[in-house]
Amino acid sequence: MLTLNSKNMIKKYIFAFALASFSLSSCLDLDVAPMNIVQDKDIFTSENGVLSYMARIYSQLPVEDFRYSGARGFNHFWIIDPVPMLTGEAIGRDWCSAHSEDFDYYADDANPTGNGYKLIRDINYFLETLPSYESYFSTEQVNTWKGEALFARGFAYFALAKRYGGVPLVNTVLKYPEQSIDDLKIPRSSEEAVYNQVYQDLTDAFNLLPEKAQRGRATRYAAAALNSRAMLFAGSIAKFNKNSNLVDQDGNRLVGIDASKAKDFYQKSYDEAKKVEGHHSLYMKNWKEGDKEAQYQNFVNAFFDESSEENIFVKEYAYPNSVHGYDAYCVPRQAMGANGYATLVNPTLDFVEMFDGLPKDANGHLQNFDEKGHYKMYDKTMDLFANAEPRLRATVILPGDDFKGESISIYRGIYTKADAANGISHIIPDGATEKYENIPECKDYIVSSPNPDNQTVYTLPDGTRMNAAGLSGPFASDAGAGAMSGFSVRKWLNPDMPKSAVLENNSTQTWIEIRYAEVLLNRAEAAYELAELGAGANYKEDAYQCINQIRHRAGADLLASSAELNDFSIIQRERRKELAFENKTWWDLKRWRVIEKEQQSTLWRILMPFYAAHAGKYFFDVRTDEDNSHRFTFDTRWYYKNFPNSSIEKNPLLLQNPGY
């Protein structure tokens, strides 16, 4: 069985493609690879040899998974700078300000899986060499391997295009000294041409790949689903890009795509998504109509059931050779292991408010006050979320919810003012950014705990003693791995992992890179855009049906008809809810060209539960980030990454992106 951590991955091979190619790092580096004793016939005349080569290709795929960091790139142990810090999905103790991806996928020599052209070189060599050895294998085997290679090349070019725009298209093995240095200085192709290449590679892969394969290997429907994602991205660039433009001397538009091409790309995205219909489906195992608990558990299980028909393309892990640290970094503090990490990802109230079933005001914000202007009071913190769509609970650990058999205690402090039983008005002034303990209006009435290791114990009016903060935070002076937003992430956490096993680099749950829910969302968005571009009302109806499939499974409110799908923000919000913490939102916000509007010196909002000592109930205070340190602004240059100066020095035809 070939997976990314397969036992069949034969690391001893030094691949024969090094004989005739040179490194494409730093844009066509001219270092000639040394000769070695492993020849083409040693690799390409046996199934194990070819599978080892394919394993190398799979291991280099630019999958933005548990081991992806916007600071460090691919296949790094995920402990700092998680991408949800950049999208408003969450805040944390790492990225706290204006930021974009720091690593360089175009020419990262330090990371063998962080250079797209190294992967493309390996693929090109494979595609050029395999035909000479086809007689050793069946037609089915050869077609599958070719399809997998083309799938990987489409994947790599898409990863480059969404970061840089137009890049050099290199679809043959470059040879030096057979080719001159000038011949090896390849200019950037237009952004449109790169997406056309992605489309062609993935279409060819679809025609060659089997319908089903072992987990971790591409199928024809994985190719179609990835194509749908890429074509949707291209359509969005054609429609929304207004910030950047770059044309070379031959008139090729290296950055941006002409708006007239939007309809064609949206049509391709829609058609590719339709190919998947009937071959994959939403996970609905043990889902029950009207049963919120069953619907919640269904969504949790969707990320762990290996038999799920929703999974289209996955990246597997296995102890001890291929592991990650998601659980250790992200569990609530009560569930943390001996490493001492926890709650790296703290969902924001801005994100939580997107979900249905919460009490909200006319602006869609959480309504935490009653008609008299007093905080609403609750016997238990979870009462506020009693009617929330089950998908929220499966995505975010809410204050007081159960996880691994215990209630996750999240509250900020105890409010001690004696007349609280008659109603509590806003405890801090509007716009206050200081910690509660520093605000004169409330500091005398707040009992808090400075950190998790130094809990203040307060005696309530009835004589009961109570910790001044929840066991999982938040805390007054030291984040201490507490829930600094009032929430902790739930999606992807292994519910069956014992505390003793919650250790750094000890997790093995599978990363689901492509699932059918995303395909439905791609289809809905493409259909909506096609309807807006005059392709017909049937597309609007199809978009409505796709959105309602997602909402039905989620336990969310259904749209009554396609007439309610009257605003693009409905589709945007549904993607952000369904695909949260899957490293998709960052790219959605970029392709829609909205992230700079969302992030204009933005402080994300949080929800702080308090226990009112004299009322014997909980209330919730809404405010901006208490640390006043997570302030985000997006530089519009970041819609496209810059090329390394060293690459431009080696290849003057590589024009730099605007603004750098």
Give the single-character DSSP code of 318: B
Q: Which two tokens stand for residue 430?
A: 């509007």
Q: Which pLDDT band holds residue 351 (cuts at 50, 70, 90)?
A: very high
Tens digit of each residue's pLDDT (9 = 90 or more) over 206-244: 999 999 999 999 999 999 999 999 999 999 999 999 877
Tens digit of each residue's pLDDT (9 = 90 or more) over 562-596: 999 999 999 999 999 999 999 999 999 999 999 99
Stretch 141-148: mean pLDDT, rounded? 98
Neighbours of 169 (CB within 10 A): 17
> Mind giving me the DSSP string for 342-399?
----EE-HHHHTTSTTS-B-TTS-B--B-TTSPBP-BSSGGGGGTTS-HHHHHHEE-T
How far does CA 400 lie from the centroid of its chain? 26
Tens digit of each residue's pLDDT (9 = 90 or more) over 261-315: 999 999 999 999 999 999 999 999 999 999 999 999 999 999 999 999 999 999 9
Yes or no: say if 16 and 133 are a contact pair by the CB < 8 Å rule.
Answer: no
Helix (H) or strand (E) holding 14: none
Comparing 81 with 640, which gets the higher pLDDT? 640
- CA distance to 361, 376, 461, 614, per residue, from 417 (Å): 27, 16, 11, 7
Q: What's residue 108's pLDDT? A: 66
Tens digit of each residue's pLDDT (9 = 90 or more) over 526-535: 999 999 999 9
Question: SS3 for 489?
Answer: strand
Q: What's residue 548's pLDDT? A: 98
Mean pLDDT of the chain, nearest integer: 91
Judge residue 627's burial from the number of C-beta atoms within 10 Å of its C-beta, 0-12 exposed, 13-18 middle, 19 or more buried. Answer: middle
State the angle between helix axes of 516-532 and 262-276 in degrees (0 to 180), rounded to the nearest 10.
Answer: 140
pLDDT surpassing 70 at residue 37: no
**What is the C-alpha to C-alpha distance for residues 568 and 566, in angstroms, rounded to an integer?**
7
Give the single-character DSSP code of 247: E
Tens digit of each residue's pLDDT (9 = 90 or more) over 466-502: 999 999 999 998 766 799 999 999 999 999 999 999 9
Q: Which of left, alpha, beta for 71 (phi over 0: left; psi -120 to 50: alpha)?
A: alpha
Q: Which two tokens stand for residue 38?
A: 């492993």
Q: Which of left, alpha, beta for 561 (phi over 0: left; psi -120 to 50: alpha)?
A: beta
Q: Which two tokens stand for residue 10?
A: 């034969």
> Mind giving me the DSSP string for 579-634?
TTTTT-HHHHHHHTT-HHHH-SSEE-EEEEEEEETTTTEEEEEEEE-TTS--EE--
Question: SS3 for 235?
Answer: helix
Q: What's residue 90's pLDDT? A: 95
Q: Which pLDDT band holds residue 73 (cuts at 50, 70, 90)?
A: confident
Stretch 435-454: mean pLDDT, rounded? 92
pTM, entire model:
0.92
Report the range of poorest mean pLDDT among 28-42, 89-103, 382-396, 426-440: 28-42
Comparing 174 with 548, which gets the higher pLDDT? 548
